Structure 1
Amino acid sequence: MLKKLAKIIVEYRIAFGLVAVFLLVVSFYGIAQLKFETNLANQLPENLPAVQDYFTVQNEFQSNEVLIVVVKIKDIKEGGVYDIRDPQVIQGIYDLEQKLRQHEYITNTMSIADVYINVLGRLPKNREESKFVLNMLPEDVRNQLISSDYTTTLIIATMNREKNTQALVRVYNEIQNDIDSVKFPQNVEVVQTGTVGILYKFLLFMQHDMYLTMAIAFLFVASLLLYFYRSPIKAVIPLIPLIFGVIMTLGFMGILRIPLDIETTTVGAMLVGMGIDYGVHVTNRYYEERKKGRSIEEAAEESIAETGKALLGAALTTIAGFSALSISVLPGLRRLSLALIMGLGLAALNAVVITPAIIILEEDLRKLITGHYEIPETRSHSGFIAKVFELMGRTVRDNPWKFLALVFVITLFFGYGLTMVTTEVRFEKMIPQNIPEIQVMNDVRYEFGGEDELDVLVKADDVRDPNVVKAIYIFEQSVLSDSYYNNAVEAESIADVVIRKYGYIPEDKEKIQQALEEYQGTPLVSSDYSMTLIRFKGNFMGVSQDEFRKIIRAFEEEIQNSEFPPGIEVSLAGDTYLNYALDKLTNTELQRISTYGTLLVVLIVILLFRSAKLSIAMATPMFLGALWTIGFMGWAGIPFSQVLAGTISMIVGLGVDYGMHLTHRFMEELEEGNPYPIVTAVKSVGPGIFIGALTTAGGFLALLFGELTPMHDFGKTLAFGIFASMLASYLVTPALLQIFYGKQIKKRGEEK
C-alpha cells in the first residue's frame, strides 16, 4: 500500500507542491485573524459552579475589578520631594484622580486627596497642613492610605469593563496616558497595577514570547541541520515542509477561531521542535538509500514507503497522546489538543509529500550546475557519530541486562523526585516577578495588607431581611477575627452600609432598604434583592500556592460553620476564587489526561504491531521517559500549571516514537536475514533519533527565551522529556529486543 502511495507522491510531486502552496496562501489570511485570550473565566468550563458564580457577579454587580495606581518615592535626588505628603504630590494625585473619573468604565475612586477635600474642602497648601489632617485619622484608616515611612500611597479605582483583549489594551493605554499627562514632582514614580496592569503585561509577554520563541526555535533547528547535513541547501530541505506546516497550523487556528492563550501560545515553538522530526527521518533514509546506489526516484520511493510506516505509527501515537488533552474540561487544553493534532498532522503530511519533491528538485538543480549527481555525505551516517552508534549497538547486543540495570538505578533517582512535585496556576505567578507592576503590587501587600479581593456571594429570597443582614455581619466579623489564617484585612457588605447609617441593624426591612438606596459605593445588591456580595480584601494572591490553598479552605470552613438562616446559599466567587478552582481542576485533569493518553498510545502500539514483545519494547521507554520527567520536575522545583497539565500525555505520545523507529528497523533487518539486526538498527536509526531529539528539544528550549514563567517551565520539562525518552529508547528498546529475539538470531546464525 505504502509502496504504491510512494510512487504516486514521487510521480505527481509537482501537483502536490502546488496544492501545498495554495494552502499556504490561504493560511496567511487565517494568521491575520488570530486573537489573544487573557480572560481567566474563558480558561475554565462554563458549567463549573465557580465560573457560573463569577458570571453572576459580573452580570448582577457589574465588575469588581480593581485598578491600583501606586504613587511612590523612587529616588532621593536633590531638587525633588522626599515625602508623599508633599502638597505637590497630593496635587498630582488629585489631578490624576479627576482624569480617571472621566472614563465611563471607572465607577469609583479613592485616594488621600479625597480625605483632604472632605476635611478641608480643598487640598493642603503646605506640609504642616498635610500632616495635620493625616494625623487626625485613626491609625488603621491612615495605614490603609499611606505607607508607614510616608513613601507610598495608592489611588484605588473600581472598574466595569468588557472582558476582552481589545478592551484591556484600550483601558490600559488610556490610563497610562492619564498618568503620563499629569505632572508629578521629581523623585516620584507612578505605576498602574492590579488586574488591568498585570493582565496587560501578561498579554504583551504572550505576544512577544510566541514570535520570539518560534523564531529562535527555527534558528536552533536550522543550525543543527546545517551541522549534520554539511550544506545550507540540504539543511533547508527538511525545514521547508516544517515551515509550511507551522504557517498552515497558525492560519487554520485563525480560520477556526482558536485563540492564542497561555496554552496555545506555545504551539509555534512546539511544532518547530516536533515537526522537524518527520522531515529528518525521511531525509536521512533518502540519503542512506542514495549511498547504496539507488536512483533518486527509487531512493525517494523507498524513504517514503519504509520510513512512512514508522512515521505513520509515530504520528498516530503522538496524536493519540495529544488527543487525550481533548477530553479535558479545561477549554485551553482542548484548544491546545486541536492545534497540536492539526499541526502534527500537517507536519507529517508535508514531510512525506513535500520533502521528496524538494530533495529531487535539489538533486536535479545540482546536476544542471555541476553536470552530474552527487552522492550526499552527512555527519549523521559517517565519522564520529556513526562510530558511536555502531559501538552502542554492539555493546547493547552483548550486555542487554547491564543496560536494564542502569535504567533501574536512574528510575530510582527520579522516582524520589515524584514526591516533591507541586502545582501553580495563578496568572500573577506566570509573569516575571521583577517587573514594576508586580513589584509595586508586592509593596501594596506589604505596606497596606493587600488589595486582592475575594467575594462571598449570598443568595436569599430577600437579602434585606434583618435576619440575613445580621448573619452577614456575624460572618464578616468572624472572618476578620481570623485574619491570621485567612489574610483578610478589610470587608464591605450591606451590613456595614446599614450600621454606618443607623449604628445598628434595625428589625425593619424598610429601614434597611432606605440605607441601601442611599449607598453610593460599588454595587453590593442585585436589582431584585435576591443576591448580595461580601467583599473581602487582603493578601490572598501574594503568598505561596500552598498558603493560597489554605486561605481559600479557611474561607470555605467559615462558610460551612456560619449560621445563616435556612434556605440561604453562600459561596465564594470572583477572580481570586477562579484561580483556586483552576488549581483543583489542574490536579484532577493531570491524572485523567495522563491516564487516557497513556492507554490510547499503548492501544495504538498494540493494534499496529500486534505483538506483546514488540509492544513492550516500544512502550517501556515511553513510560520511563514520562516517569523520569515528573521526577525531574520535582528535583528542579517546576510546578504543574494549566499549561503543564497535559505534559505527561504529550511526552508519552512523543516518547514512544523513538522506540518505534528502532523496533521497526530491527524487524525490517530481522526479516531480511541480517545476522546483526540490533547493531544495524541502532547504527542506522540511532543518528536520526538523535538529530530528531536535538531539534525537538531545541524547539522546546526556545521557550526559555520567553518572559512567561510557564513557558520556561514548559520548555525545560518537554526538552527533558524528549531527552529522557531518547535515552530510555537507546537503553531499553534494543536491550529488550535482544533479550526477546536473541535466541532466534543466534539459532539462525548457527544454521547458516
Structure 2
Amino acid sequence: MNKLFSKLGSRIEKTPFKILFITIIIFAIAIAGAIKVNMATGSETLVKTDNNAYISNYAMEQEFGGDAIMVLLEGDQKDLLKLDNMEKMWNVEQRLKYNEGIFTFMSPASIVHQITDRQGTEIKKQIPDISNGLGELGDKLTEIGTELGSKELPDPEAVEKKLDNLMVSMDPSKFIEDMSGEQEAELKNKLLTMGNGLGEMGKRLTDIGNELGSKDIPNPKAMEEKLGELSNISSVFDELAGGQDNLAKGVTELGGGLGLSSEGLREISVQLVQMAEQKKDNPQMYQKLTMFAENIGKSSEGLSKMSENTVKLSQGNENTSQALNNIGKKLKEEVEEMKNSLSGDGISSEELKKMSSGFVIMGENLSDLSNGLFDMATEGSILPESSEILSDFKANIENEVVGMKDNLSGGISPDELKLMSDGFITMGENLSKLSNGLNTFHKKSGMMLPYFPHNQKELDSILYDDYGKLRDVFSDTVIDDNHMMLMIKLKGNLEDSTIDSIFEDVSYAIEKENFDVNYIVSGKPVLDSSLRTEMKSNMIIMVASAVVLMFIILNLVFKVRWRALSLGIIFVSVIATLGLMGHLNVSMTMVSMAVFPILIGLGIDYSIQFQNRYEEEQSVKITLTQIGKAVGLAVLATVLGFVSLFASPVPMIQDFGKMLTIGVGVSFVGSIFLLMPILDARDTVASKARDFRIKDYDKPTVLDKILGATGKVVTKLAPIILVISIGLATFGIIADTKVGIETDIETFMPQDMDALHDIHYIRDIVGSTNQMIIFMEDENLLSEENLQWMRDTVDEIKGEFSSNIVDIKFIDNLVGNFSDIEDLNFTEYMDIVKKDIPAAQRKMFINDEMDKAVILMNVEHMATEELQDFVENMNSMLKDAPMKTSITGKSVLDVEMVKGLTDGRLKMTIIGLGLVFVVLLLLYRSFFKALVAVLPVVLIVGMSGGIMNLLGLKYTPITATLGALVLGMGTEMTIMLLERYLEERNLGKEKDEAMSITIKNIGKATVASGLTTVGGFSVLRTSKFVILKDFGLMTVINISLALIATFVILPALIWILDRFIVKEKVKKEVYKELPQE
C-alpha cells in the first residue's frame, strides 16, 4: 500500500496542474447533479418497499387514494352555509378538479352539487312524458279549431258547451299538476287557491247542466259529434295521469324547452290581438280578446323567466293522479251515457234532464280534483315559478272564455267563428312547438351540466330537512356550529414534488376566492410539504454555520499557513457529495440532513492530516508514503462503520449510510487530488524556496505541553485507566437497556412550525387527523355474508377500542345517509349503493368492481408503541375474517419503523464492529493491532448508552445510528495515532520516546480534526429540528469522548500491549531510507 501512495505522490509532483485540472472537471460533473436532489418525507423513507405493511398500504392507496389536504373553515353556521360562501367553496373545487393528482373532494358544497346532479338526471327521464302530454293537447286544440271552421254556425248554447269542453281538455294545470318537488313547500298555499278555483269550475258545470233545461235543444247529430269530441278529449286525462305517476323530483335546466313554450304563447297573444283588431265593431268582443291577449302575453313573459330560473320539476302527488283518473273515467262514462241517450230526431225533456244531471256529476268530479289538490298541498309540493305562472295562464284562459260565453248573447257571427277557429288552431300549433321543444331539450340534455343552487332558499331546502335540522349526509363535513371542512383527498403514492405542487394550487385557489370566514389549510400532505421546505432552509443554515465555525477552530488550533485551504477543499467535497446523491437518486430525508455538518467535521480531518504532514515533510511523495496508508485505513474503517447502517430496515437510515459513505470517499479523494496538487503547485510557482510553516512552528505550544503531560500520566496509570474505562462501559451498556425510543414523528420537527400548529388545532376540532384502515379484498365484498361481518366487526371495534377510536365508517354509513328506511332488504341496499350514492363518495369506500373495500378508522394520536399494541390486537381480531384483510395507513408504517429501530440498532452496531475488526485483522495480520484500534471505540459506544440514560434522552431514528457512527469516526482517530506510534517504533525508538513523539506530532492535527468534527456536530444543536438537536448533543459528547479516548485509553492500551503489536526484531531494526526516484 505504501508503494501505491508513493507512486501517486510522484505523479502529483510531476504534473500537479494536470491532475488538478482533471480533478476539477470530475468534481464539476459531480456537483452538477445537486439540482436533482429531492427532499423525501413519504412512506418509502419509513419502511422498505418489500415490507408487507408498505405493500398493503400501496395497494390500498392505489384504489382509495392517499392522505387528504384539509381546509377548515371557521365562523357562525349561518355564515358558513350561506350561498356566497358555499359558492366560493364550490369554485375552489372547480378550479382544482382537473388536477390529476386529486382523487376526490368532500365538502358541503360538493354534496349539494351531487344532490342537484341526481335530481337533474331524474328530471331528464320524465321530460318525454310532459312533452307527449303537451303534444296531445296541441293536437286536440287543432282538431277543435279545424272543426269549428268547417261547421255551420252552431247554436250559442252549443258553442258555450264547446268552450266548456275546451276548458276541460286544454287546461294547462293538467300537466302543471304533475310538477312537484321536495324543496318547494312554499307553494302549498297556491295549490289550495287552485283547488278552490277548480271547485268553482265544478260548480259552474253544475250550473251549465241546470241551464240546459232553459236553452234551445241543438241538433242531435251535432250534439253526438260534440260529445264524441268530448270523449276523445277525456283520454288526455289518462295520459296526464300516467305522466303524473312517473314524474320524479326536481329539474335544473328546463330553459330551452320552456323558451320555446314562451315563444309559442307570444305568438298566440299576437294572433288574439289580430282577432281583436278584426272585431273592433263589437266593442265587448274586442275588449275581451284584447284582455285575453294581454294575459297570455304576461304568461309568455313568465314562462321566459321560468326558462331562466327553473331548477326542478317533481313527481306529482298520488292523490292528484287518482283525481285525474277519476275525472277521465267518469267523464268518459258520462259522455257515453249522454250519447246513448240521444235519439235521431231530437232530445226529449227526460233526456235533457239526464244530460243536465250528467253535467252536475262532472261538476262533482271537478270537485274531486279540487280535493286532490288540497291533499297535494298537504302531502306533496310544486315548483314555485312554473306552477304560479302556468296557473295564472289557466286562470286567464278560463276568465276570458267565460267572458266570451257572456258575449254570446244571441249567437256568434260566421266571421267571429272563423276568427276563433284560427285562434284555436294557432294555439294548438304553438303547444305542439312546445312539445317539440321539450323533445329537443331531452335529446340535448346530455350536454347540460348541473349547476349550484341559485338562491339561499333552494340551498337551504337541500341542507335542511322539514324540521330545520341539517341533513345527516352533511355530518362528515359540517363539524359543528362553527366549523366545516373541505377535504381534498389526493391520489395514492404520489411523488413529493407532485404533492408540493398540489398544495400550492390549493393555496392559490382558496386565496383567489377571498372567503369571508377564517380558514386553515392543513393535513399530512401540507405538513410534509412544509417540512420539506423547512429542511432546505435549515440545511443551508447548518452548512453555513458549520463552515464559519470550522474557520474559527482552524485558526485557533491549526498553526500552519493556508490553514483555511482544508476547509475550502472539504466544502467543495461536500457539494460534490450532494451532486452524486442527485446522480444516484439518493433522497434527502429528515435524518440525512445531518450528513453535511458531519462530513464537514469528519472530512476536514483527512485534509488536516495531509496538510499537517506536508508542512513537516515539504514533499507530496513523502507525505503520501508516510501517512497515506494510515489515512486510507482510517477512511476504510470509517466507511465500514457507515456501511453497517445499510443493515437497518428503515430506508432513511440506509440513505443516511449511503450519503455518509459517499461523502467520506469524496472527501478522501478531494484531500489527495485537490489539496496535494494545490500545495505542490504553491511551492512550484514560488520564485524561491519558502518555508510555508508559520514562525516558531517547531516551538512547543501550550497544547503540546498538555498532550506531553497527558502521555506521561497515562503511561504510568495505564492499568487503572483501562479498568475504569471498562467499568464505565459496562455500566453504560446496562443503562442502555433502559433508554426509551421516541418515534412520534411530530416531536422530531421544528415545534414552532405553523403547519404543525395548524394540524394540532384541526386535531383538537375534529378529534383526529390520524387514520388507520382495514383493507379488504374479495370477489364480491358486498355479499350479505361479508356485509354482516363488516357490521359485526365495526361494532366489536367500537366496543373494545372505544378509548382509541374517534370515528369509524364504511359503506353502511353512506347507505344510511341516502336512505330513510332503517331495515333495508339486500336488494334495496344494493340499489342505493349502485344508483343513489354519488360515485365521488362511493369510491372512498369501495371500488367499481366491488372486490376491494375499506373500513376507515380515525384514531387518537398515540405513541407508536401504543399503536403497535393496537395493530397487533386488531390483527388478532381480523384473523377469522371471510375475506383477505390487512391493517394499513401511515400509522401502521410508523409501527413498522419502530420495529426496525428496535431490532436494527444493536444489529447495526455489531455489524459495524465486526466489519471494522475483520478488515483490520486482515490488513494488520495481527489480532492485537486490530484490537488496539477497535477496543477504545467500543468502550465509548458502551458509555454512550449510560450518558443518554443520565440525560433522559430517547433513541430516535438518527440517534439509533450513534453506535455505528462513533465506531467509524472514532476508529479513524485511533488508527492515525496507532500508525504513527508503529512508525516511530519501526524507526527503532523505545516506546517512551515513540509515544511522546507520536502524541506531540500527531496530537495537534488530531485535536484540530477532533475539534472540527465536534464543531460540525455542534452546529446540529442550532437546528430547529428537535431530532437533530438531540443527535447533535449526543454526537458532540461521543466524539469528545472518542477524542479523549484517543489520548487516554488508547495510549494506555498501546503501553500495555506493546510487546504484542511490535516484534522484537522490529524494535532493533534501523529505519531504512525511502527509495529515491
Task: Specify the TM-score bucket, using the shorter chain as the normaliser.
Answer: 0.7 to 0.9
Cα distance in 2 for partners of 1:309, 1:318 equals 14
2:716 is matched with which residue: 390, 398, 402? 398
The answer on 1:110 being equivalent to 2:107 is yes
Identity percentage over the alignment? 17
Q: Given the two structures, how large is their TM-score scaled by the length of structure 2?
A: 0.61
Read off the aligned partner of 1:271 and give its amino acid letter. Answer: L
**CA offset digits 1:285-336 (Å, max 9, x no partner):** 22334xxxxxx23xx3332222212111101111111122234444433333
Cα distance in 2 for partners of 1:337, 1:583 equals 18
Residue in structure 1 matched with residue 57 of structure 2 by the alignment: 54
8 Å Cα contact 1:445-1:451 kept in structure 2: yes
The answer on 1:68 being equivalent to 2:81 is no
Read off the aligned partner of 2:869 and give its amino acid letter. Answer: K
Q: How does 1:675-714 map to 2 (within 5 A)?
A: 675=990, 676=992, 677-714=994-1031
Q: Label 1:175 to 1:41 Cα distance change in 2 as closer, same or farther (>3 A).
A: same
Q: How does 1:505-520 map to 2 (within 5 A)?
A: 508=826, 511-512=829-830, 514-520=832-838
**CA offset digits 1:516-541 (Å, max 9, x no partner):** 453221432233322210011132xx
Alpha-carbon shift at residue 69 of structure 1 (Å): 1.9
Residue in structure 2 matched with residue 275 of structure 1 by the alignment: 603
Read off the aligned partner of 2:943 and give its amino acid letter. Answer: W
Q: How does 1:211-610 map to 2 (within 5 A)?
A: 211-230=540-559, 234-289=562-617, 296-297=618-619, 300-363=620-683, 368=687, 372-377=690-695, 382-408=700-726, 410-411=728-729, 414-415=732-733, 417-485=735-803, 487-499=804-816, 501=819, 508=826, 511-512=829-830, 514-520=832-838, 521=841, 522-539=843-860, 542-560=861-879, 564-565=881-882, 568-610=883-925
**CA offset digits 1:465-520 (Å, max 9, x no partner):** 111111111111211223444x2121121233445547567674684365245322
Q: Given the two structures, how large is their TM-score scaled by the length of structure 1?
A: 0.85
The answer on 1:741 being equivalent to 2:1058 is yes
Cα distance in 1 for partners of 2:81, 2:949 equals 48
2:79 is matched with which residue: 83, 87, 95? 87
Cα distance in 2 for partners of 1:637, 1:134 equals 59
Cα distance in 2 for partners of 1:534, 1:389 equals 67
Structure 1 residues not aligned, in runs of 5+? 73-82, 290-295
Specify the SS of the correspondent of 1:423: coil
Alpha-carbon shift at residue 247 of structure 1 (Å): 2.4
**CA offset digits 1:217-266 (Å, max 9, x no partner):** 222112211222357x6222212331332222222222222222334333
Q: Label 1:179 to 1:316 Cα distance change in 2 as closer, same or farther (>3 A).
A: same
Q: Label 1:84 to 1:424 Cα distance change in 2 as closer, same or farther (>3 A).
A: farther
1:190 is matched with which residue: 496, 513, 519? 519
Cα distance in 2 for partners of 1:728, 1:178 equals 60
Cα distance in 2 for partners of 1:461, 1:236 equals 69
Residue in structure 2 matched with residue 621 of structure 1 by the alignment: 936
Give the superposed CA RMSD.
Answer: 3.7
Q: Which moved more, 1:514-523 or 1:606-615?
A: 514-523
Q: Label 1:564 to 1:379 Cα distance change in 2 as closer, same or farther (>3 A).
A: farther
Cα distance in 2 for partners of 1:92, 1:704 equals 50
Read off the aligned partner of 1:251 and give its amino acid letter. Answer: G
Specify the SS of the correspondent of 1:192: strand
8 Å Cα contact 2:864-2:895 kept in structure 1: no
2:8 is matched with which residue: 5, 10, 26? 5
**Higher radius of gyration, 1 or 2:** 2
Cα distance in 2 for partners of 1:635, 1:513 equals 65
Residue in structure 2 matched with residue 203 of structure 1 by the alignment: 532
Alpha-carbon shift at residue 190 of structure 1 (Å): 2.6
Q: Which moved more, 1:530-539 or 1:243-252?
A: 243-252
Read off the aligned partner of 1:418 and give its amino acid letter. Answer: D
Q: Which moved more, 1:272-281 or 1:438-447?
A: 438-447
Read off the aligned partner of 2:857 and give its amino acid letter. Answer: F
Residue in structure 2 matched with residue 30 of structure 1 by the alignment: 33
8 Å Cα contact 2:648-2:904 kept in structure 1: yes
Alpha-carbon shift at residue 275 of structure 1 (Å): 0.6
Q: Which moved more, 1:243-252 or 1:498-507?
A: 498-507
Q: Label 1:531 to 1:154 Cα distance change in 2 as closer, same or farther (>3 A).
A: closer
Alpha-carbon shift at residue 26 of structure 1 (Å): 1.2
Cα distance in 2 for partners of 1:11, 1:203 equals 48
8 Å Cα contact 1:210-1:265 kept in structure 2: yes
8 Å Cα contact 2:640-2:915 kept in structure 1: yes
8 Å Cα contact 1:495-1:505 kept in structure 2: no
Q: Label 1:139 to 1:160 Cα distance change in 2 as closer, same or farther (>3 A).
A: closer
Cα distance in 2 for partners of 1:437, 1:88 equals 23
Read off the aligned partner of 1:496 and give its amino acid letter. Answer: N
Cα distance in 1 for partners of 2:547, 2:731 equals 34
1:669 is matched with which residue: 972, 976, 984? 984
Alpha-carbon shift at residue 49 of structure 1 (Å): 1.1
Residue in structure 1 matched with residue 491 of structure 2 by the alignment: 160
1:97 is matched with which residue: 89, 92, 110? 89
Q: Which moved more, 1:319-328 or 1:638-647?
A: 638-647
Cα distance in 2 for partners of 1:131, 1:380 equals 91
Cα distance in 1 for partners of 2:593, 2:603 equals 16
Specify the SS of the correspondent of 2:36: coil
Residue in structure 2 matched with residue 179 of structure 1 by the alignment: 510
Cα distance in 2 for partners of 1:9, 1:436 equals 54
Read off the aligned partner of 2:929 and give its amino acid letter. Answer: L
2:47 is matched with which residue: 35, 44, 48? 44
Alpha-carbon shift at residue 548 of structure 1 (Å): 3.1
Read off the aligned partner of 1:548 and give its amino acid letter. Answer: L
How many residue pairs align between the two structures? 715
8 Å Cα contact 1:68-1:193 kept in structure 2: yes
8 Å Cα contact 1:10-1:357 kept in structure 2: yes
Cα distance in 2 for partners of 1:551, 1:144 equals 27
Q: Which moved more, 1:648-657 or 1:423-432?
A: 423-432
Structure 2 residues not aligned, in runs of 5+? 116-181, 184-452, 1070-1077
8 Å Cα contact 2:73-2:518 kept in structure 1: yes
**CA offset digits 1:631-684 (Å, max 9, x no partner):** 333444444344444332222111111211121112122222323222222222
Alpha-carbon shift at residue 622 of structure 1 (Å): 1.6
Read off the aligned partner of 1:389 and give its amino acid letter. Answer: L
Cα distance in 2 for partners of 1:90, 1:618 equals 75
